[in-house]
Amino acid sequence: MTARNNTAMLELWRPPAAAGDPVGCVTTTFTFTPGLFDEQCLARFLDIESEPNREDLAFLLERETRLGSVYAGVLVDHTRAGVEHSLRWDVLPVRIRGGKQHAKLSLLLWSTHLRIIVASANLTEPGYRTNHEVTGAIDLTPEASDANIVSQSLVFFWGLISFVPGASAAPPEIRRLEAFLDQVERLVQGWKQRPRSRTLHQQLVCTLPAEATRPARSSLEEAIEACRGRGGSPVVAQVASPFFDEATDNSLVTASLCKMMARGVTRELTFCVPVITDASDATQVPRLAAPKALLRTPGQYSGNVQVKTLPQFDSDKNLRTWHAKMLALSADSYSALMVGSSNFTCAGMGLGGNRNAEANLLTIVSHKAYSRDAGLLEAVWPAMEPVADPESAEWQGPRAEFEEEEQSEAPSVPAGFLLATYRAGDKPAIVLRLNPNNLPDDWHIHACATDRPELLSADLWGQRGSRPLVDIVWPQETPPEKLLVRWEDQEAFLPINVEDSRALPPPADLKGMTADDMLWVLAAADPSAAFRAWAAQRQRSDVFDEELDSAEMVELDPLRRYDLQATFLHRIRRRARILAQLRANLQRPVWGRQALEWRLRGLVGIQPLAERLVKEFATADGASDDALLTLADFLIVLREVDYQAIDGSLLKAEFDKTYRAFLRDLLDTIEPQVQAKRSATSVDLLHFWESVVKRCRA
């Protein structure tokens, strides 16, 4: 674990070597910048090589096609959830009464690699680019896994789901997240456990409010309990936090920490707090952004206190706001460090009635001869300036500007507005989930689209029967970006997710992709490179690259280029090679039902390719036989697909069941269109076509 700058933090989203195909990711945050997640984090996770600012079309197509086969979701505090985002990934609001969704925990799953990231940084530009943050990452593979840390992460996410409004009704966005968490659990079950270390122990410690079936959790209590299991209660504690509870005579969280520390000894506590002025200037009295209760409370519990100031600049003298949260605990036999999202507050540490959702990584190192692990924990702490006389310092109390997420309370929709879902397809609609018991008397919901039409109001809702589930016809071609809720003299945004991403309309630019273009992309060993080549070709109207995704040199000899026999043979051989590559790609392991459905029916999938091939046959004037022969060859390849499952992938029986049903449906769609042009097709070719169809149905 290290304090990281923006580059290193973003690189944690990039797949390690031999990680395999992306399967899905889920992350949590308090404040949220959708563009950062979409263009930086997701682009790295999916290994998209196109630049969003320089290769707009290629990036759009790569993202749209890759996201269809994986899960991506963000759990964000409900006050910050009303954001515009791609409907290819979900934004789920988390509403905690008296608390916040404050955790920064991420699960990134590739087919042969799971990365768990615990951080202090929100998914925002300051969090990833300018703040001083701390991050811990755990990498697990089929050869070296840790079932305990995986289970702890999944338990936290399952607990967090219960705080998503409307989750108990299992709407589509919740089912997708639950299916992904189940997939993580299934995939890692067969992975080998790494040998248990005698000197190093890591676990997730969390804060969560109580639920009907789960007791409340406390990060501080769980950390202390884990330390006691390694050698008794801690004697020394060091805290670094940018934010504290409001000033009172006593610090409740400090008192709780002291009570949990070892008894019968002098407890040593160090508080590293934000400084408003430069404490290194001897002519000024340090002005500390923390309550003086931190200094006074330990004295009631046989505690000595030292105070240090958090650094304001990095090694290059650039101003960096401290946003990291760290708690070090130690005794004679061990050293421990907790990093993550918990500020040194009651809500953050999980003390008292109001608790946040928090996630922290605790690392405990046993003191052994010649072990360097304890030194590695100490190295995480940067140099900090001691306050020589903390009693005479100016204790200003907690200052919100030292933490981006505390600067202002964002407006929040009333609790009666649960979730909004966009239903794409032939009859687009917006599905609203409402809790009638928590709605204001008068309210209006507007779609954030071209003219902000009103979708529903309290009066209209009453006329429709005041039902908790409301379907509203959406007449426009594109879905709204989000919904605006107005009540009394207030307004706030409500996020909208898609019911089924497969039904979303394709990007307009994709309509210009021919059957040959799509076939080349589907058969390519590197679809990303094929997409970039096709997009570049589209954006250069004076260039046509016939050799898209082909390693063959373009023939320059005009006598050979226009040899009809050579051209025909070249085309036939090339088509056979590409179809063989297509079959090989279809046989590759797939990591779940969603990925298989996308492979078959996605924007650039088998079904859209079949539709283009049929259209070319139906519109062919004098070359219908050639077009039908291509279609027949295509079906033969589909019939010969022999799926190759591996550990953790979709089972062969499940693949075959879904795939054969898809192939039958495809034939039911294609056959009537071929029969409609029967008179324009040669008899021999029709017989061949019918035999191919019969084989495919067998």
The average pLDDT across 271-299 equals: 84
Q: What is the mean pLDDT of the chain?
A: 87
Q: Lowest mean pLDDT of 26-40, 80-94, 322-336, 520-534, name the range.
A: 520-534
The pairing of beta strand 287-288 with beta strand 326-331: unpaired
Average pLDDT over residues 665-678: 87
DSSP 8-state secondary structure symbol assigned to residue 332 = T
**For 31-35, 387-391, 572-576, which range has the lowest pLDDT when averaged over its residues?**
572-576
In this structure, the strands spanning 394-395 and 385-386 are unpaired
Residue 562: per-residue pLDDT: 46
Q: What is the DSSP letter of 549?
A: T
Size of the chain in residues: 698
Contact 685, 625 (CB under 8 A): yes
Same fold, 2-189 and 200-406: yes
* pLDDT tens digits along 141-179: 999 999 999 999 999 999 999 999 999 999 999 999 999
Cβ pair 112, 160 in contact under 8 A: no
pLDDT in tens, 249-263: 788 999 999 999 999
200-406 in CATH: which number?
3.30.870
Q: Is 38 in a helix, a strand, or coil?
A: helix
Rounded Cα gap, residues 612 and 616, in angstroms? 6
Q: What is the C-alpha end-to-end distance of the chain, expressed in Å?
A: 57
Highest mean pLDDT among 302-316, 650-664, 683-697: 650-664
Cα–Cα dist 72/241, whole Å: 31
Q: Where exactly are the structural domains of the chain?
A: 2-189, 200-406, 417-503, 508-697
Q: Residue 298 is encoded by which pair of tokens?
A: 């330990």
Kindly report, residue by residue over 604-638, the tens digit of the pLDDT. 889 999 998 888 888 876 567 788 888 888 899 99
Q: Which helix (H) or strand (E) holds 696?
A: helix 683-697
Q: Which of 304-318, 430-444, 561-575 has the lowest mean pLDDT?
A: 561-575
Between the alpha carbon of residue 334 and those of residues 338, 343, 349, 371, 555, the distances in Å are: 13, 23, 22, 11, 71
- How many Cα atoms occupy the beta-carbon half-sphere of 587 within 13 Å? 14
Question: How far is residue 462's CA from residue 427's CA, in Å, rounded to a whole number?
Answer: 24
pTM exceeds cut of 0.95: no
Calpha distance 611→426 (Å, rounded): 17
Residue 69 is predicted with a pLDDT of 87
d(CA 512, CA 505): 14
Name the most confidently modeled range: 208-217, 334-343, 370-379: 334-343
Q: Is a pLDDT exceeding 80 seen at residue 315? A: no
Q: Residue 387 pLDDT more than 80?
A: yes
Right CATH for 2-189 from 3.40.250.10, 3.30.870.10, 3.90.1150.10, 3.40.50.2000: 3.30.870.10
